[in-house]
Structure 1
């Protein structure tokens, strides 16, 4: 009964862990009304390196008293040109101005603004802009949503007119520039949007002059601001390639001396351009539009250094790191993919020559030193991505040759990690390096997530704030590496215990990984947690041996679906502004706009599949496994037969990585990151298991191990001739409950010796699996005691004396060699 209930109990446990991790959310205070007026002042291209007490004294004082942050200016096009930035500000969602543009360039900056009555203005191109964003772009953005949410708005300057224009093109109140006394204009409506100019170019002197002119205009705005008002200053866009992080400052009641953040970023000191519109409405106490903004209202958090110079240096340094990350990341993954492909090619002849042949004809084994060097290279390859993640603890981006500094730091960390694995106890065993690498990988990524994922933000193997996709938690590469390390660690640990406990060990280790990935406090990736749940369920189902039967697959599928449905139900019960990605997608499906999300996801999958170097890693790893490691000479099939928990971990990793990539719009990136760790370890373990194929046990006393250690656990282990999991064992490919074949030795009670295996067919055992040993050579047959009183109680059959059998041989038989 317990065996029948075990799958159901494990499924319930996985579901409970998954739903608990996904449903719990950090407390989010509802933004309260803090102002009667809001003034949004935009300066295209303004970065924190342009702000100093001499050139921008007004902005410096404003940053001293208010809250600051780094602004990601992502829009529907890249780069975000000034007109795209203003349009995105007014839409509260990713938008872009229609019109032709060169590759990586911006359209002409001129925007037609008509003033038929001298009070307001009209944008004649607004209708075509709305159609372009609604029909041609995948976001379904409605330009002018911010101005539609208030009764009256003011625009100063052409850029501000783009942001303040309603969907039909009308600007309520418009002025081409600030009047001599702007008090009446800024106080005429609750929302004012002001274009303060542009800071452009790479010449430091020219940028300083432009910043000084914009700061002088800002001083006039602050002098004329209405009472009880919130002033938001933002570097509204890029002005050229490449993209950069920009200035965001909020000054008003309730925004004193803090970091700006929002629920869309989840990280202190970071804000998105699409967050400004909901921030303005929340500060005014106005309801959000029916079609939700993509952005979330900003809030001010504590923890900012008291020294303003030190506080400003943090976002400025983040901008430099993000810029360096963009140039180094592509080269790193391209080089990693190339090196791993070359290493896979180098492993092929070693696999061919690894297994000893009984006959005189056969390839000679590779020299032991060559095999040892290749094994260390495989360990180094598997540790490269975790080492690159750890390298971001060193400020390599501040040097003149940042790429070379990063390469040197990563190489040192890879060498240190490889040495640690090499000298770890148990390295000589088949699964020694496998377990060490998996544990080290899980430890590095897990500790980073538990401490706020600081190494992944703007990291080479993390995610960039410039891309605007993620600002906290686990990124695509981090998710792939972490789920691979967690499931492989679970498989290695499960192999160390009796097979009846293996599913529980897999669930315990993998369940913790699901909590880390899915918790909004930690990994903040609900889609990744659902995919990991599916992979964990598959791994737990087959960790005790046997095939992935229909019933086991059904339990695994039920667990993944139950986690997804449970989280969806909890997420849909939250207020609309607090829902996660899954809840917002289901809401969009309900109101008929879910097609935009599906289109965006499919487009992202295709672009990533075609352009990412991780696709090469995933495909190369799959080809190596299918056409080499899984062949009879490859050793992986033999490894699977001897170590069923390892087979389960690898199968679960493949399921979780592929499913997570498809659902998360990352194509094969997650699978490629997982393959960077899994495939080298699978190749190394295959080399080891082939090298141990002809090992023999050395009898020492009674039961023995092939490594010379005494073994008293009896038959019934996992191996080709054992009663457990193996090619001919009762728990091998024929299934955990399949009867033992006639050729295998019967399982005896603990400490007793059953019938020895056939001396002509030595059996292999797992040299580093003390829980279930196997014999590789015929053991001496058990001797029946001469005294009947010393006989084994299990031997109940009577002893019958027989005369010795006479054997007669012919002369020909005697002469035969």
Structure 2
């Protein structure tokens, strides 16, 4: 009874660890002081490479004494045109102006601003913009929510009028251009929004002139700012494709120095456009509107370099890296999918000829050199994604030929990783390469997460700040690789222990992985932690043998649900501004807006499924496994029978990546990243198992009847992998005269650490069973029963 309950009890430990990891949030030292007035200054298209002490001296001095950051200007439309950016500022949510975009670019026409009186203004198209966002877009944005949250607001310029207009189109106070002395205008309301122009030209000289004009208008604003005021400067939009990161500066009492950040990014130095409206209300100590804002109030953190040039270079370099990442990522994943498809085709004939026939006639085995070369290619293919992640430690994006530099660095890292695996101890064992590759992949991703996920931010196999989906923690690709690597590591380690200890080993490794994935200041992926918990529970249930029965699946599902409930309760107990994605979704269900989240997730799943190269990787990997590796000649069923912990790890990986992809809206991307690691290793292990599939154990007269040796049919084979008897997966020490299909007690390398207990040999689940005619069902293939003979009776090969 204790052995039956052990996996359940250990999985409960995973639940407790996961919930505890989510509930712990360290103090990051962030501050957000209050002010009496807020002046929001917007310049569409303004980037950090436009800022220097000679051309933009006002903005330079403001950045020296204030807090700075990189602004992601994502809106409900790609690219974010100026009118979309201003509308998003006023909505505090992803919004877009209705109308067609010619050629995918930004429209040239402006917004109609009427002046019915000498005080305010009216936007006649504002009601239609509200209806468009409420009825046709999936974000539920309410343009004008910011203006509705304050008693009075001022707008200067047409762009500012879009941000300051109330939902019915009224602007409280409006000036078409900035007066020479705007002190009285800026002091008339607690919130002023000023449009200082657009920086949009591709010509460097013209662009510099536009930035200089915007800086001169900013100087007049600063000279006339009200007392105890906060001035926010933001490059509120792109001006054309592709998207870029833009300027964000906050200057006011309590905002001296430091980086700008917000809970929506959880990354120092990064802010979203939707964070500006919540920041304004938080600084003015105004209540947030119900269900309107997706952004979170900005705060400052004190880890900025003292030298302003060095500080500004960081966001400018991040912008260059993000731009280069977008160009390189597409062809990298396309080449990876093509390479893995080609390798899968090359493996098929090796699988068909890897299993040696018991009789004297049959096809010649493939050359050992060819098999060894293919094995190294499989190792290299499995290490491609971890190497691509590690390549971002080198600033390849700063060169003139960024793609070539990235390809060179990644290729060198793949070669280095492949060499490390090839010359690692135990490479000749059946599971040696699998354990080494899984360990390297888990180490690379895990160390990156523990050190702040720097390699994933704007990385080719990470996530882009320009996309606005994630800024910290584990990305989609990183989650797939980490989940697969951690579970394979757990399976490899568990296989080296006796059967009764395997659930404990699997849950220990999986529990640590759940903590890393779910912790809000590490992986910060509650959905991934829930999915991984389900995968660990499944793996723990079957790692000691047997099938995934209904009862085992039931308590594995209950464990995942327990983590979900625990995460939800902890997240809902936080203030609304600090909740994660799960807490926000449950709160939306409570107020009736959860359908928008479900709609966005389903739409994202469909778009990702159709457009992502990782979909090809996932489907190709599934086809290779189902149509080849799981066939009687494919070797994977035999591998699973001999090594139940590896079968458990792969089953748990499938459950985890499937749930993680669907629930997070990334379709098969998580599964594709995991397949890039798991499928090559499964093919390699299957090749090695098939290489020993006809080995037979016979009594060794020199050792006594109780011990056995491994002899292939036809006599000893000195060319067999490892070169020694007992090196094949058919070796066991539970008695002589049994075929390999009965289930060996070692992993194929004669490793004493992997020997089973005498009364608990690992028996294949679909192999090694006696049939009525005296033959044995070996992995779905009938093998004629052959009497074992002493090795002295076998003819020499």
Tell me the SS of whatever aligns to 1:254.
coil
- 8 Å CA contact 1:38–1:231 kept in 2: the answer is yes
Residue 546 of structure 1: aligned partner: 546
TM-superposed CA distance for 1:237, in Å, is 0.3
TM-superposed CA distance for 1:10, in Å, is 2.2
TM-superposed CA distance for 1:701, in Å, is 3.3
Between the aligned partners of 1:107 and 1:715, the Cα distance in structure 2 is: 81
Residue 772 of structure 1: aligned partner: none
- Seen in structure 2, the aligned counterparts of structure 1 residues 500 and 715 have a Cα distance that, compared at 3 Å, is farther
TM-superposed CA distance for 1:579, in Å, is 1.5
Which residues in structure 2 correspond to 1:34-49 (within 5 Å)?
Answer: 34-49=34-49
1:237 aligns with 2:258: no
Deviations 1:413-470 (A, max 9, x none): 0000000000011111110101000001000100000000000000000000000000
Which residues in structure 2 correspond to 1:258-657 (within 5 Å)?
Answer: 258-657=258-657
Tell me the SS of whatever aligns to 1:418.
helix
Between the aligned partners of 1:356 and 1:409, the Cα distance in structure 2 is: 41
Between the aligned partners of 1:304 and 1:585, the Cα distance in structure 2 is: 34
- Seen in structure 2, the aligned counterparts of structure 1 residues 191 and 778 have a Cα distance that, compared at 3 Å, is farther
1:721 aligns with 2:742: yes
Between the aligned partners of 2:110 and 2:740, the Cα distance in structure 1 is: 76
- 8 Å CA contact 2:769–2:776 kept in 1: the answer is no
Which residues in structure 2 correspond to 1:760-775 (within 5 Å)?
Answer: none
Residue 26 of structure 1: aligned partner: 26
- Seen in structure 2, the aligned counterparts of structure 1 residues 643 and 36 have a Cα distance that, compared at 3 Å, is same
TM-superposed CA distance for 1:292, in Å, is 4.3
TM-score (normalizing by structure 1):
0.89
TM-superposed CA distance for 1:363, in Å, is 2.3
Between the aligned partners of 1:718 and 1:110, the Cα distance in structure 2 is: 81
Deviations 1:496-552 (A, max 9, x none): 000111111000001100000000110000000000011111111000001111111
Tell me the SS of whatever aligns to 2:560.
helix
Residue 184 of structure 2: aligned partner: 184
Residue 155 of structure 1: aligned partner: 155
Between the aligned partners of 1:312 and 1:33, the Cα distance in structure 2 is: 23
Residue 701 of structure 1: aligned partner: 703
Unaligned runs of 5+ in 2: 711-723, 748-758, 780-785, 793-797
- 8 Å CA contact 1:718–1:725 kept in 2: the answer is no
TM-superposed CA distance for 1:21, in Å, is 2.1
Segments ≥4 residues shifted beyond 6 Å = 28-31, 709-712, 716-719, 723-726, 740-744, 760-764
- 8 Å CA contact 2:695–2:740 kept in 1: the answer is no
Deviations 1:716-770 (A, max 9, x none): 99963248799x99764659xx9x97899xxxxxxxxxxxxx9x98999xxxxxx
Tell me the SS of whatever aligns to 1:103.
helix
TM-superposed CA distance for 1:589, in Å, is 1.1
Deviations 1:154-193 (A, max 9, x none): 0000000000000010100000011121000000000000
- Seen in structure 2, the aligned counterparts of structure 1 residues 440 and 35 have a Cα distance that, compared at 3 Å, is same
User: Which deviates more, 505-514 or 282-291?
Assistant: 282-291
Between the aligned partners of 1:705 and 1:188, the Cα distance in structure 2 is: 94
- Seen in structure 2, the aligned counterparts of structure 1 residues 402 and 734 have a Cα distance that, compared at 3 Å, is closer
Between the aligned partners of 2:619 and 2:735, the Cα distance in structure 1 is: 41
TM-superposed CA distance for 1:18, in Å, is 2.0
Residue 8 of structure 1: aligned partner: 8
- Seen in structure 2, the aligned counterparts of structure 1 residues 107 and 360 have a Cα distance that, compared at 3 Å, is same
Between the aligned partners of 1:779 and 1:164, the Cα distance in structure 2 is: 92
Tell me the SS of whatever aligns to 2:741.
coil
TM-superposed CA distance for 1:776, in Å, is 12
TM-superposed CA distance for 1:704, in Å, is 5.3
Between the aligned partners of 1:515 and 1:198, the Cα distance in structure 2 is: 46
Between the aligned partners of 1:293 and 1:607, the Cα distance in structure 2 is: 25
- 8 Å CA contact 2:527–2:663 kept in 1: the answer is yes
- Seen in structure 2, the aligned counterparts of structure 1 residues 474 and 588 have a Cα distance that, compared at 3 Å, is same
Deviations 1:216-275 (A, max 9, x none): 000000000001100000011000111000000000011111101110000101000001
Tell me the SS of whatever aligns to 1:43.
strand
Residue 55 of structure 2: aligned partner: 55
Larger Rg: 1
Tell me the SS of whatever aligns to 1:42.
strand
Question: How large is the RMSD of aligned CA atoms in angstroms?
Answer: 2.6
Which residues in structure 2 correspond to 1:56-95 (within 5 Å)?
Answer: 56-95=56-95
- 8 Å CA contact 1:720–1:729 kept in 2: the answer is no
Between the aligned partners of 1:302 and 1:690, the Cα distance in structure 2 is: 59
Between the aligned partners of 2:562 and 2:732, the Cα distance in structure 1 is: 44
Between the aligned partners of 1:187 and 1:719, the Cα distance in structure 2 is: 87
Between the aligned partners of 1:319 and 1:207, the Cα distance in structure 2 is: 17
- 8 Å CA contact 2:263–2:577 kept in 1: the answer is no
- Seen in structure 2, the aligned counterparts of structure 1 residues 227 and 154 have a Cα distance that, compared at 3 Å, is same
- 8 Å CA contact 2:422–2:433 kept in 1: the answer is yes
**Count of equivalent residues:** 753
User: Which deviates more, 585-594 or 368-377?
Assistant: 585-594
Deviations 1:354-411 (A, max 9, x none): 0101234432211111111000000000000000000000000000000000000000
- 8 Å CA contact 2:642–2:744 kept in 1: the answer is no
Deviations 1:323-364 (A, max 9, x none): 000000000000000010000000000000001012344322
- Seen in structure 2, the aligned counterparts of structure 1 residues 359 and 695 have a Cα distance that, compared at 3 Å, is closer
- 8 Å CA contact 2:261–2:299 kept in 1: the answer is yes
TM-superposed CA distance for 1:27, in Å, is 3.7
Tell me the SS of whatever aligns to 1:468.
coil
- 8 Å CA contact 2:697–2:739 kept in 1: the answer is no
Deviations 1:564-599 (A, max 9, x none): 011112212222222111111111111111111011
- 8 Å CA contact 1:33–1:284 kept in 2: the answer is no
Between the aligned partners of 2:363 and 2:201, the Cα distance in structure 1 is: 65
User: Which deviates more, 280-289 or 601-610?
Assistant: 280-289
